[in-house]
Chains A and B, each alone.
Chain A
C-alpha cells in the first residue's frame, strides 16, 4: 500500500531559520537603504542647482559692483569671492570676452535670447554650472558706449560644495549605520531564539537515540514563548518516561510471570504424553497443546529478553566470546532446527572478543536462521566474520526471495514478517531483538536486498579483543 506523501513546495523545504532571516534582513536593509538614499539624492539634486543659481547671481552682482569702465576698457577692481570655485567672464555683444575667459565648451549665446540664462553645460572638463546676467548700463559707473555686455558666472560641478552635499553625506552615514545596527540586532534576536531550538533538537535526537527519557533541556531563553516550549518539551519527556518505564516494567513483569506457568504447562504436556501412549487421539491433542505452548514460550522469552535489554539489566561485556565456536554452534543448531540444512559457507577471522555469549549468539542465530528461512533451493548461506579497524563485521548473505524495497525500512520493526515466509515459525521479533542488541553494543545493522536475488545483513559493532 502506498500513501501519497504531501511534499512541501520545493523552495520552502529545509530552510534554516537563521539563513532565512539573514537573507531576509539583508535584502530588506538593502532595499530600504537604497530607497532612502535615492530619495535624498533626488531631493538634493533638485536643491543644488537652485542654490548654485542663487549663489552665482549674488556673486555676479558682487562682481558688477567692482567693474569700471576706463577708456572704453572694462576693468575689474580687486574683487574677492566668498564662493569657492567661482569664476566669471564679461562678454560683449559680438561674443568677445572682455574680462576673463569662458570655460571651454561654453559658447556665448545671443544675449537677447533669455537675458537671465542658467543651466549646466557639459564641457570636456566636466559639468559646469553657468549663470548669465545681462549687464545693465548703470552697472558701469562710467559707460563709454551704448554697447551691451553680459556677465557669465560659472562654477565647475566638482567644486560645488553646498550644505546639501554635507546633508547627503551625513544622512547616508547615519542611515547605513542605523540599518547595520538594526540588522545586527535582528540577527542577535534570531540567534537567541534559535539557540534554544537547536538545543531542543539536540536533546530530542539524543533522547531518540538513547531512549533515555530522563534527559532534559537545560537551556533557558530570554523569550517567554520559547521557555514555554522548552517547558512543554520537558514535560512531554517526563510523561513519555513515565509511560515508557511503566510499559517496560509491565513487559518485564508480565513476561516473567508468564514464564513459569508456561513451563508448568509444557511439563504437564510431557507427562501426559507418557501417560497416554496408547491413545492416539489424546497424543495428537497433547502434541498440539505442547507445540502451541512452546510457541508461546518462545514469544514470552523474546519479549522478556527485549525488555531486559531495554531495562539495561544485562551485562554486555561480562565474558569472553569465541566467535569461531559460536558460529559453529549456531550452524549446528540451525541444522537441527531446519531439517538438516547445512549449506554454510562460513569464514570466521575473529577469535575471542569480550561480550555476552547469549546476546551475540542471539544476533548470529537470528540472522542465520532468517537467512535460511527465506533462502531458496538450498543455496549456500554466506557467513563472514572479520575485523575492520576497531569494529567487528558480521555478514550473513542468502540467495533467497529477498525483500521488497518498500519493506526494507520496516524489517527491523517489531512483528514485521516477510509475507512469503516459508514457515509460520517466528513472531517477527527476531530482527527487532537483533537490532536492539546491536544498538546496545553501539553498532549498526544494515540490510541490502534485491527481490528474487536474496538479502545481505551486515552488522558492524565495536568490540574489544581479548589479548592473551
Chain B
C-alpha cells in the first residue's frame, strides 16, 4: 500500500517514512504544499499523512482543494496545532483522522491501519473475496478454510489485488504499490510473483481468482462472468 508523507521538516519526514517502510508500506515523501498537491493529484495513494504548516499552500487549504476536486484519498493530519478549533476545522475539511504532535509511533501506525481499512469499507482486519480470506492482523491467508503460506511479497501483492478486487491492475501499478526500491523499470518481474501466487491460491482450487488481461495486467475477482466484460472493456 502506498502512502504519502507531507512534512516540511526533513528529518521528521525521513523518520516517519522509514518507520512506515519498515511496516512494508510504500512511502513517498514531499516537503511543501504545492508538491504534495501534484503528487496526490497524479498518483493513487492509499493514504496521506499531512502536516498543516507547510511551504506553498498550507495543509488545510490543500485538503480543501483536493476534496473540492472529488479526490477522496484518506488523509490523516499530523500537526503541532493542538487547539480545539484547529482539530475541528481539519476534520470538517475532510480529514479522516487528526493526530497531534508530539505523537507515539505505535499509535500512529494503528491509526494508519484503521484509516486504510475504512477506505475499503471493512471494520475488521479481514479481507474476503469469495472463499479467500486474508487476516491482516495475523497476516494469514486461507482459501476454502485451508491455510496458505505466502512469502511477504506474494502476500503484499495478494492484499493489494484483494483491496482492488474486480479492477484490472496494470503491472506497473502492482509494482508501484508493492515495492519501490527493488523495482526494475520496464520489466515484468510482477509476472514471476503472479505465477507463484497462482500456484498457491489457484492451482488446487476452483474457480480461479487471478485473471490475466492480455497486454494490460491482472485482475482478481470472484465472479468469472463479470470478469470477461471487464477484460474486453480494458482491451478496447
A interface list, Cβ under 8 A from B: 257, 259-261, 263-264, 267-268, 271, 294, 297-298, 301-302, 304-305, 308, 313-314, 318-320, 322, 325-326, 328-329, 332-333, 336-337, 356-359, 361-362, 365
- The complex places the Cα of A194 from the Cα of B186 at a distance, in Å, of 53
Interchain CB contact (< 8 A) of B179 among A268, A358, A361: A358
With known contacts A301-B184, A362-B184, A267–B189 Cβ distance under 8 A: no
Query: Does A337 lie within 8 Å of B196, measured CB to CB?
Result: no
B39 to chain A, nearest CB (A): 6
Q: How far is A356 from B151 in the complex, measured between Cα atoms in Å?
A: 11
The 6 closest A-B pairs by CB, nearest first: A298-B185, A267-B42, A358-B182, A301-B185, A319-B151, A333-B188
Cβ of A325 and Cβ of B196 under 8 Å apart? yes
Contact A357 B43 (CB under 8 A): no
A337 CB contacts on chain B under 8 angstroms:
186-187
In terms of DSSP, what is the predominant structure of the interface of chain B?
mixed
**CB pair B183 A267 closer than 8 Å:** no
Cα(A264)–Cα(B38), bound, Å? 7
Q: Is the CB of B185 within 8 A of A357?
A: no
A304 and B184 CA atoms in complex are apart in Å by 10
Given contacts A325-B196, A329-B191, A332-B191, contact A297 B39 (CB under 8 A): no
B184 touches A329 (CB 8 A): no
Of B29, B182, B185, the contact of A308 (CB 8 Å cutoff):
B182
Known A-B contacts: A298-B185, A333-B191. Give 11 more (CB < 8 A): A260-B29, A260-B39, A264-B43, A298-B186, A305-B181, A305-B184, A320-B151, A322-B196, A356-B182, A361-B189, A365-B189
Cβ contact of A358, chosen from B30, B176, B189, cutoff 8 A: B189
Taking a contact as CB atoms under 8 Å apart, the answer to whether B176 and A263 are in contact is yes
Residue B153 is within 8 A (CB to CB) of chain A in the complex: yes
Q: How far is the CA of A304 from the CA of B181 in the complex (A)?
A: 7
Q: Is B195 an interface residue (CB 8 A)?
A: yes
B207 close to A (CB within 8 Å)? no
Contact across chains for B186 and A294 when beta carbons are under 8 A apart: yes
Q: Does B130 contact A (CB under 8 A)?
A: no
- Determine if B42 and A359 form an interchain contact, defined as CB atoms under 8 angstroms apart: no
Query: Cα distance A305–B179 when bound, in Å?
Result: 12
- Once A325-B195, A357-B192, A361-B187 are accepted as A-B contacts, the answer to whether A319 and B152 lie under 8 Å apart by CB is yes
Across the interface, which residues of B come within 8 angstroms of A267, CB to CB?
A: 42-43
Q: Which of A261, A271, A318, A337 has most B Cβ within 10 Å?
A: A261
* A260, A263, A268, A337 pick with most chain B CB within 10 angstroms: A260
CA–CA, A357 and B157, complex, Å? 14
Question: Within 8 Å of chain A (Cβ to Cβ): is B86?
Answer: no
- A298–B184 alpha-carbon span in the complex (Å): 8
What 0/1 readout, one digit per residue, does chain B (174-210) give for beta carbons within 8 Å of chain A? 0010011111111111011101100000000000000
User: B58 an interface residue at 8 Å Cβ cutoff?
Assistant: no
- Tell whether B97 is near chain A: CB-to-CB under 8 Å: no
With a 10 A CB-CB cut-off, give which of B28, B179, B184 has the most chain A CB atoms. Answer: B184
Picked from B28, B29, B185, B195, the residue with its CB within 8 Å of the CB of A302 is B185
Pairs across A and B, CB under 8 Å, 27 listed: A257-B29, A259-B28, A260-B29, A263-B42, A264-B42, A267-B42, A294-B185, A301-B183, A301-B184, A302-B185, A308-B181, A308-B182, A313-B181, A314-B181, A319-B151, A319-B153, A320-B196, A322-B192, A325-B196, A326-B192, A333-B188, A337-B187, A357-B189, A358-B189, A361-B184, A361-B192, A365-B189
A268 close to B195 (CB less than 8 A): no
Cβ–Cβ < 8 Å partners of B42 in chain A: 263-264, 267-268, 271
Bound Cα distance A337, B195 (Å) = 20
Q: How far in angstroms is the closest Cβ of chain A from B173?
A: 11
Query: Contact partner of B182 among A294, A297, A314, CB < 8 A?
Result: A314
> How far does the alpha carbon of A358 sit from the alpha carbon of B179 in the complex, in Å?
10
Q: Are A260 and B181 in contact (CB under 8 A)?
A: no
Interchain nearest-CB distance for B41 vs A (Å): 8
A305, A328, A337, A358 — most chain B CB neighbours (10 Å): A358
